[in-house]
Structure formats: structure tokens, C-alpha cells
Amino acid sequence: MLDTIYKAINFLCNEQLETGEFHSEKYFNRELAGEGVFDSSPFTTAIVLYGLSFCSHTLLNSIQEKAYRYLEAEQEGPGLWRYWSSDNENTIAPDLDDICCISFLVENAPVRFRRELFNKELLIRNRHNPSGLFFTWIKPEGEDNDVDGIVNANVLMYLGENEDTVPARDILIEAILEDREPLAYWYYLDDLSLYYAISRARFHGVTGFDKCRQAIIEKTEKKVTDAHIDLSELQLALAACIFLNFEKHGHPFLHHAINQLVALQQEDGGWAKCAYYTGPEPPYPHTVFWGSKVMTTGVCIEAIARFQKVSDGNW
């Protein structure tokens, strides 16, 4: 398994751009058929850095150095990021998904990359009244905005569990317990992405999500054992991480998923591109899909590296 991890790290090292960015690709079909369009964004770099945070390898110093410098260069004002980078010809408002995923990384980075951010009060003000859910976008009051459950789970991961975030947490719990997942998110493509985001926030200390822990485990089990569903590499990795986040280390599917991911690793060390998230903003139908080999590899390496640690070599 260590060889699988090292091959993946080497792949990511070779794919990292000189700026430190890990590239995203935009497609106009969910299958990501045909050639993608390079779509510069710090979000993919955040996904890869999070996966690599569970690894140890001599190459990591160089990869992290470049990636954190890239994220620092893309920061605006008091800890704000936008989906499209400064090198992208498109413009877009800052969004809480990018801000919170990147801020969490920066706040928990190795000491030499850690920076103090001053964005939490701004994020707390960016809420929908009276629900308490966090808006996706930072826009002037009165402009169209939306809410997304996965974005809110990532906000909770960064801001933690407190009086400002409990209303959003409880709405997510209700959505799980009342089987309202299809209405809970817009920008992602799979219930597993929702379960992953909630389980990840729980792994990082949002203990209130224990109320829906068992429900997520059972729903993930159903998803991965459904004979009619052929899981992609990304789905396999997300499901594995859900079980790892909830400390279900002995779950039979976890071992199956890791075996599958090892077998599916490509010769260059990466995994196949899979669509992870989508747009445009609601209520317009989904017509744009994002994914790349490095994005899938970031999640796969998280699953495999974490499993390798908890299995203590007994694999």
C-alpha cells in the first residue's frame, strides 16, 4: 500500500503547476467525456492539500511549500478566496466553500505555513435569516444568494460548533434524519459528498453530528451495496472516508473500497477524472461539471493513506 501512496504523491508532484496550483477542468457533460477546459481555481489545490495532510513523504515539503504559497497569493482582504483564481478570465464573488476549506487548511497547516486569518466575523454575518444557514456567496445585502448543505458543513468544519453555527448544524441533521438529501445541496452531485462533508466536520470536532452518525453510516452502506450502482473511483474514496471519519475501521466495505482503489490506480499514479461538483447557480439547470485526475487523486490518497495508518500494517 505504501507503494500506491508514493506513486500517487509522485503523480501529484509531476502534475503541480509552477505556480503551486493543482489544475481543475471544466466540462459540459457529467461523464466528463471529451477534452476538458482548464479552469484555474484554488479549490482543487485545497482538495489535494487536504488529502496530502494524511501522508508523509520527502516530496511533501516541496509540494506543500508551492501550494500554500499559491493559496496565500490568491487570498484577498481578510482571508477571502474566490472559486476562480486571479489567472482566470472569469470573475465571481467570494464563496464560503472556498473560504472555509482553504481557511481550515491554513489554520491547521504545518507551522511554517500557518497564517492568522481575520474572516470569522465576516462569515458569521453572512447568514440567512431566520434559518441560520450560511449563504454560499459573499454579496451585498439584497443581491440574489443561495444556501447549500455541503457548503454549510464545510463552514462548520472551519468555524466549529458554537451558538452561531448550531442552527445550520441542526438543519443538516434534520435533512439526514428526514431523508431530504436531494433538497439539501445544489453545487455537488452525490449524496456521498454530503455525507463526506458532514462526517469530516464531525471528525474535526463537530460532535453534534453524532445525532445523524448512524443514519449516515446506514445510508452509505445502502449506497455502496446497491447492485444497480457502479461506483466511480471518487465515490469509492468518499465512501471509504465516511467510514474512516466515523471510525468504522473494521467495516467490510472499507477494506473492499481500498482494494478497489489500489487496483484502479493508473500507471502514472493517478486515478480517473470524475465529476465532483457542478453549476451554475440555482435555479438554472446543471450544465457545467468540474473534475480532474488530480482532484480524484486528492480524495483517493486521503482514503488510502488514512486506511494504511489505522490498519497498522495489517492489510
Question: Mean pLDDT throughout 122-145?
Answer: 96
What 3-state DSSP class applies to 298?
Answer: helix
**Joined grid coordinates for residue 312:** 497498522
Question: Mean pLDDT throughout 250-264?
Answer: 95
CA angle 52, 224, 255 (to 5 degrees): 55
Reply yes or no on whether the pLDDT at 285 is more than 50. yes
Give residue 311's pLDDT band: very low, low, confident or very high (50, 70, 90). confident
Domain count, the chain: 1
Mean pLDDT of the chain: 96
d(CA 99, CA 139) in angstroms, rounded, equals 14
Question: Mean pLDDT throughout 256-275?
Answer: 97
Asked whether 206 and 157 are in contact (CB, 8 A), the reply is yes
Reply yes or no on whether the pLDDT at 315 is more than 50. no
If one compares 96 and 77, the residue with the highest pLDDT of the two is 96
Question: Mean pLDDT throughout 77-92?
Answer: 95
**Domain holding 307: CATH number?**
1.50.10.20
Amino acid 312: pLDDT: 67
Q: Tell me: the pLDDT tens digits for 173-229? A: 999 999 999 999 999 999 999 999 999 999 999 999 999 999 999 999 999 998 678
Reply yes or no on whether the pLDDT at 135 is more than 60. yes
Reply yes or no on whether the pLDDT at 314 is more than 90. no
Claim: this prediction has a pTM higher than 0.85: yes
For 39-43, 75-79, 97-101, 207-211, which range has the lowest pLDDT when averaged over its residues?
75-79
Domain extent, residue 37, equals 2-311
Asked whether 79 and 103 are in contact (CB, 8 A), the reply is yes
**Joined grid coordinates for residue 270:** 493517478
Question: Mean pLDDT throughout 271-275?
Answer: 98
Q: Tell me: the pLDDT tens digits for 34-71? A: 999 999 999 999 999 999 999 988 899 999 999 999 99
Amino acid 223: pLDDT: 95
d(CA 224, CA 118) in angstroms, rounded, equals 40
Share of the chain above pLDDT 70, in %: 98
37-38 and 277-279 beta bridge pairing? unpaired
What 3-state DSSP class applies to 248?
Answer: coil
For the chain, give percent helix, strand, coil, nearest 5.
Answer: 50, 5, 40
Amino acid 46: pLDDT: 98
